[in-house]
């Protein structure tokens, strides 16, 4: 076990801990290992201190302490983190997971959300009023990390990205000041947090616009045999070209999981899932999606009326915490035949039964926002690909990572040159692809609010 060290004297640490409303953990404390663990089981880092914040005053105290003591600072929201930036070795980990309130104003159709809240927390509160905002597809994902990276999901084609629905944030910047950022107040900072990751401070409150959704929506997967994948994906691509914004149809290549609607003899066999969602009238949705449901010879069709909040949790069993994860992504303005063929070839060689390749249909309202309107630049993407490489045995690390990198390189010629920041696993220069044409302006905003790069445990932007 690595020895954890800190250059800070015990007196300063004691004073810091006594001033917190939450608790300060050291490596010898009983909850230390549980608290430093995050969703990606590959991450095994040991902070010198963990500050468990209960409110804004604790966040300010932690930021000031890290800056004054020249400590590395890592910020954890809900801990659903691929790259592992929520945890550091030897520095200070600021744990926000206890700050998870969601306050909905049904009249104004807005929500105020704390940084430890998950998508499940958000949906539970908002759906009590038949409301939602575009979020991801896994209910254990943290709202904070998802939002700061851009954020897309089933509602993105109709209602835009998560950041397109952000009204304001309260944020503690590197100088320990609590600032409000919106289109009217600190607009440069507000521009930066909408896709610039955790580079500018610790957001303590997000204010979102909400939209009427559900509570029941038409959604679900149709499952086809893997040998049909090329034709199925081409059919979906052609359908999607003229589909309305209310429709979102995603494709997943993987080994069939033991889902209750799948016959046992296909469990563990290569399949393609066509997962569809219609954010509008149920009868309209049946009519719009009919060409997909009438196609080919599926193994199973589980499309039907579902509670929106329940459908947001439908993929949770495939993305449980603790497994080892290494992800890659590309954006595509179209899915060419060659891109589809390449993906199907690699899907036949998935390195583990837990791994999958998915193509998320986005575009729509998201693509109508100028590329420089927010820090998130990839408005030309019609599809986002994620390579979910997941496994449990550490002995498989090299094989799984090598497969992911090889597939990423093979798909690069067909992509836009952009990648989705929240799907980056490691510091390999992909942050340049994530920030694209907005990189220079991000560096200028960074120089204004974090000139010493205190917030560097992220897809980092260096100050201009």
Task: Examine the pLDDT at 433 and tell me if it is beyond 90.
Answer: no
Residues 131 and 265 in one domain: no
Q: Which of 352 and 4 is assigned the larger pLDDT? A: 352
Residues 80 and 129 in one domain: no
Q: What pLDDT is stored for residue 272 in this prediction?
A: 97
Q: What pLDDT is stored for residue 315 in this prediction?
A: 86
Residues 19 and 35 in one domain: yes
Rg (CA), the chain: 22
Q: What pLDDT is stored for residue 428 in this prediction?
A: 66
Backbone angle region of 363, left / alpha / beta, with phi > 0 → left and psi within -120 to 50 → alpha? left
Q: What pLDDT is stored for residue 400 in this prediction?
A: 96
Question: What pLDDT band is residue 1 in, cutting at 50, 70 and 90?
Answer: low
Residue 1 domain flag: no
From CA 26, how far away is CA 266, in angstroms rounded? 48
Mean pLDDT of all residues in 436-455: 95
Q: What pLDDT is stored for residue 3 in this prediction?
A: 55
**pTM for this entry:** 0.94
Residue 459 domain flag: no
CATH number of the domain residue 56 falls in: 3.30.43.10
From CA 377, how far away is CA 393, in angstroms rounded? 37
- How do 92-95 and 49-52 pair as beta strands? parallel
Residues 235 and 196 in one domain: no
From CA 194, how far away is CA 163, in angstroms rounded? 5
Q: How many domains does one find in the chain?
A: 3
In sequence order, the 6+-apart residues with CB closer than 8 A to the CB of 203 are 115, 144, 147, 148, 169, 170, 171, 193
Question: What pLDDT band is residue 180 in, cutting at 50, 70 and 90?
Answer: very high
For residue 108, how many other CB atoms are within 10 A of its CB? 11
Question: If DSSP states are collapsed to H, E and C, what string results for 265-325?
Answer: HHCCCEEEEEEEEECCCHHHHHHHHHHHHCCCCCCEECCEEEEHHHHCCCCHHHCCCCCEE
- How do 216-225 and 49-52 pair as beta strands? unpaired
Residues 289 and 384 in one domain: yes
Residue 109 domain flag: yes
Task: Examine the pLDDT at 429 and tell me if it is beyond 90.
Answer: no
From CA 39, how far away is CA 406, in angstroms rounded? 25
**Residue 297 CA: distances (Å) to CA of 220, 224, 227, 272:** 17, 7, 12, 12
Residue 250 domain flag: yes
Of the candidate ranges 55-69, 137-151, 238-252, 413-427, the one whose mean pLDDT is the lowest: 413-427
Residues 220 and 336 in one domain: yes
Q: What pLDDT is stored for residue 159 in this prediction?
A: 97
From CA 119, how far away is CA 258, in angstroms rounded? 25
From CA 258, how far away is CA 14, in angstroms rounded? 51
Question: What pLDDT band is residue 6 in, cutting at 50, 70 and 90?
Answer: low
Task: Work out the percent of the chain whose per-residue pLDDT is above 90.
Answer: 86
CATH number of the domain residue 281 falls in: 3.40.462.20
Residues 317-354: tens digit of each pLDDT: 888 888 999 999 999 999 999 999 999 999 999 999 99
Is the bond into 128 cis (omega within 30 degrees of 0)?
no
Residues 201-247: tens digit of each pLDDT: 999 999 999 999 989 999 999 999 999 999 999 999 999 999 999 99
For the chain, how long is the longest CA-to-CA vector?
A: 70
Residues 125 and 31 in one domain: no
Residue 399 domain flag: yes
- 173, 192, 212 — which closes off a domain? 212
Question: Are the beta carbons of 39 and 321 closer than 8 angstroms?
Answer: yes
- 37, 69, 95 — which closes off a domain? 95
Residues 41 and 86 in one domain: yes
Residues 412 and 326 in one domain: yes
Residues 303-312: tens digit of each pLDDT: 999 999 999 9
Task: Work out the percent of the chain whose per-residue pLDDT is above 70.
Answer: 98
Q: What pLDDT is stored for residue 320 in this prediction?
A: 86
Residue 456 domain flag: no
Question: Are the beta carbons of 275 and 186 closer than 8 angstroms?
Answer: no
Residue 464 domain flag: no
Question: What pLDDT band is residue 192 in, cutting at 50, 70 and 90?
Answer: very high
Q: What pLDDT is stored for residue 258 in this prediction?
A: 85
- 69, 95, 121 — which closes off a domain? 95
CATH number of the domain residue 115 falls in: 3.30.465.10
Residues 190 and 253 in one domain: no
The label of the residue with tokens 């926002």 reads 369
What residues make up the domain containing 111?
102-212
Residues 389 and 252 in one domain: yes
Residues 67 and 114 in one domain: no
Mean pLDDT of all residues in 386-395: 94
Residue 410 domain flag: yes
Q: What pLDDT is stored for residue 2 in this prediction?
A: 56
């Amino acid at each position: 076990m690595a020895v954890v060290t800190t250059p800070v004297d015990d007196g300063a640490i004691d004073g810091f801990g006594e001033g917190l409303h939450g608790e300060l953990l050291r490596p010898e404390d009983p909850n230390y290992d549980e608290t430093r663990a995050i969703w990606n089981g590959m991450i095994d880092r040991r902070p010198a201190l963990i500050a468990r914040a209960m409110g804004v005053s604790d966040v300010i105290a932690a930021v000031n302490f890290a800056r004054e003591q020249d400590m590395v600072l890592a910020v954890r929201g809900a801990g659903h983190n691929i790259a592992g930036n929520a945890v550091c070795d030897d520095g200070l980990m600021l744990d926000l997971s206890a700050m998870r309130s969601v306050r909905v104003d049904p009249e104004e159709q807005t929500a105020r959300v704390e940084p430890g809240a998950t998508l499940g927390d958000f949906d539970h509160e908002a759906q009590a009023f038949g409301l939602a905002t575009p979020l991801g597809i896994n209910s254990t994902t943290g709202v904070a990390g998802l939002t700061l990276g851009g954020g897309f999901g089933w509602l993105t084609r109709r209602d835009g990205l998560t950041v397109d629905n952000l009204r304001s944030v309260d944020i503690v910047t590197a100088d320990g000041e609590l600032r409000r950022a919106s289109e009217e107040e600190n607009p440069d900072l507000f521009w930066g947090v909408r896709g610039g990751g955790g580079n500018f401070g610790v957001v303590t409150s997000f204010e979102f616009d909400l939209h009427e959704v559900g509570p029941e929506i038409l959604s679900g997967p149709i499952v086809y045999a893997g040998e049909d994948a090329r034709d199925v994906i081409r059919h979906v691509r052609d359908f999607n070209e003229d589909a309305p914004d209310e429709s979102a149809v995603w494709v997943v290549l993987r080994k069939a999981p033991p889902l209750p609607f799948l016959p046992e003899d296909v469990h563990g066999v290569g399949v393609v899932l066509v997962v569809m969602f219609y954010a509008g009238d149920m009868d309209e949705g049946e009519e719009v999606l009919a060409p997909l449901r009438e196609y080919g010879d599926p193994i199973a069709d589980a499309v039907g009326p579902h509670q929106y909040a329940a459908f947001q949790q439908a993929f949770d069993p495939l993305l449980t915490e603790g497994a080892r994860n290494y992800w890659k992504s590309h954006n595509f303005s179209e899915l060419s035949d060659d891109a589809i063929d390449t993906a199907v070839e690699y899907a036949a060689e998935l390195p583990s039964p837990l791994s999958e390749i998915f193509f998320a249909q986005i575009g729509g309202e998201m693509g109508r926002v100028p590329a420089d309107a927010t820090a998130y630049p990839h408005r030309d993407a019609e599809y986002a690909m994620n390579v979910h490489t997941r496994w449990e045995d550490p002995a498989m690390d090299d094989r799984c990572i090598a497969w992911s990198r090889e597939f990423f390189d093979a798909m690069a010629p067909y992509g836009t040159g952009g990648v989705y920041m929240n799907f980056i696993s490691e510091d390999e220069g992909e942050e340049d692809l994530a920030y694209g044409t907005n990189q220079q302006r991000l560096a200028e905003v960074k120089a204004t609010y974090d000139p010493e790069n205190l917030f560097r445990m992220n897809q980092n932007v260096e100050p201009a």
